[in-house]
Amino acid sequence: MPPNTCSDAKKTRKQKYQNGNHLRSNNDALYNLELLILHNHSSRPIMMSLSRQRQSDAGLVSFSLLGDRGENVEHSEIVSHIEQFGYCIVEDVIPAEDVDDVRRQVVAAQRAHHEQAEAELAKTRARGHRIGVQGVGLLKQAINATRCFAPFLADERILGVAESFFGEFVRISCTDCLINHPGNQRGYWHADWPFNATNATHVKAPYPDAMMHISSIWMLTHFGEDNGATFVLPGSHRFENNPAAGGVEGIDEDAPQPDQRQATGPAGSVLLYDSRLWHAVAPNRSDEPRVALIIRYAPWWLNLTPTMRGTPDHQRMVLETGGKNYDAIPIRSDVFNMLPDNVKPLYRHWVMP
């Protein structure tokens, strides 16, 4: 596990940087952004037509960035790709030698809590809300069930990038697990909380053009077009709204977008994105489950209390309105106490009394 393999992992990573294939994104050669203004409440376009200039087979391009230039340069490259396209895929965050073990433990934890998670989803559906996707298994606050991935959560390339956007005191707002079983349904286009208007608590559109929350999808199996690599719409993080809750006139939230891509990567990679990015669950057409962790990083100033059951904000904004919950479950204090020292600050706001 990580403490023993840290230096090896660093060596492997250095080799990868020199090969230039550790970091992938839709780079600028791919797209010439032609702005097609449909609605214009402000100076920002709500819709864009993205015309492709060049496309690799996989739809994503590997490129060489760093050589020996070091961590800071890498941060800035990831940051600038997220700023430009809304997302970036960072490979080898969980080293290849650890990822199978992490996946096995996460899958076992999800299985053990599957019935309970389905019952919670059913309660929300019974109140008339669309939540979850058929064929996708969920485990909320997975860290309460297994800490096997905790050593990687403060990775410089992930937390460091979050800090580049938000400054100090970043907090984790979500640690869920998703297992897309073979044959799972396609999901609807949405942006993540607090930009998903199907949730009781959300930022009112048109959104200010500011990064407020970073989402990430940790690939515990490889993500390919066959097994349901997440659909993303490059550039959509700067749109003023998204199709969830019918937020964009003329856009069917369930229909493919002509410029959609799939965020593919080997197991151990992380898809890091601005939470405003339009994305959707893709169908798994393989015969193996696709396994992921959903980790979100919030600035200290983003009010997370409406997502926390038992708080007055949750009572007022979610329960009393009958709205759809974006629920977070506190971390157990025994789990918190066993976290690595550099990960504890990410959960300190949420320890179960």
Q: Which of 25, 175, 198, 230 binds ligand AKG (CB under 6 A)?
A: 230
Q: Does 304 bind ligand AKG (CB under 6 A)?
A: no
Q: Does 90 bind ligand AKG (CB under 6 A)?
A: no
Enclosing H/E stretch for 103: helix 96-126
Minimum gap (Å) between residue 136 Cβ and ligand AKG:
7
- The 3-state DSSP class for residue 260 equals coil
Minimum gap (Å) between residue 199 Cβ and ligand AKG:
11
Length of the chain measured in residues:
353
134-153 residues in contact with ligand AKG (CB under 6 A) are none
Q: Residue 158 — φ and ψ, nearest 5°? A: -105, -65
CA–CA distance, 159 with 154 (Å, rounded to integer): 5
Task: Draw the binding track, 262-281, toward ligand AKG (x: CB under 6 A; -: no contact).
Answer: -----------------x-x
Residue nearer to ligand AKG on the CB measure, 80 or 257: 257
Q: Residue type at 217? A: I
Q: Does 187 bind ligand AKG (CB under 6 A)?
A: yes
Residue nearer to ligand AKG on the CB measure, 292 or 304: 292
Q: Does 178 bind ligand AKG (CB under 6 A)?
A: yes
CA–CA distance, 57 with 228 (Å, rounded to integer): 17
Q: Which of 106, 292, 328, 329 binds ligand AKG (CB under 6 A)?
A: 292
Residue nearer to ligand AKG on the CB measure, 9 or 197: 197
Q: DSSP letter at 32? A: E
Residue nearer to ligand AKG on the CB measure, 9 or 200: 200
Q: What are 109's two structure tokens?
A: 């934890």
Residue nearer to ligand AKG on the CB measure, 23 or 263: 263
CA–CA distance, 107 with 220 (Å, rounded to integer): 10
Minimum gap (Å) between residue 142 Cβ and ligand AKG:
13
Residue nearer to ligand AKG on the CB measure, 289 or 299: 289
Residue nearer to ligand AKG on the CB measure, 87 or 152: 87
Q: Does 179 bind ligand AKG (CB under 6 A)?
A: no
Q: Taking the CB of residue 343, how many other CB atoms lie within 10 A of it?
A: 20
Enclosing H/E stretch for 125: helix 96-126
Q: Does 294 bind ligand AKG (CB under 6 A)?
A: yes
3-state helix, strand, coil in the chain (%, to 5): 30, 20, 50
Q: Does 219 bind ligand AKG (CB under 6 A)?
A: no
Q: Does 192 bind ligand AKG (CB under 6 A)?
A: yes
Give residue number: closest CB to ligand AKG.
230
- The 3-state DSSP class for residue 210 equals coil
Q: What are 134's two structure tokens?
A: 């058929």
Enclosing H/E stretch for 313: helix 312-314
Minimum gap (Å) between residue 223 Cβ and ligand AKG:
8
Calculate the alpha carbon distances from 80 to 27, 73, 114, 162, 168 in Å.
10, 10, 38, 12, 19
| Interface ranges with ligand AKG (CB under 6 A) | 178, 187, 192, 217, 230, 279, 281, 292, 294
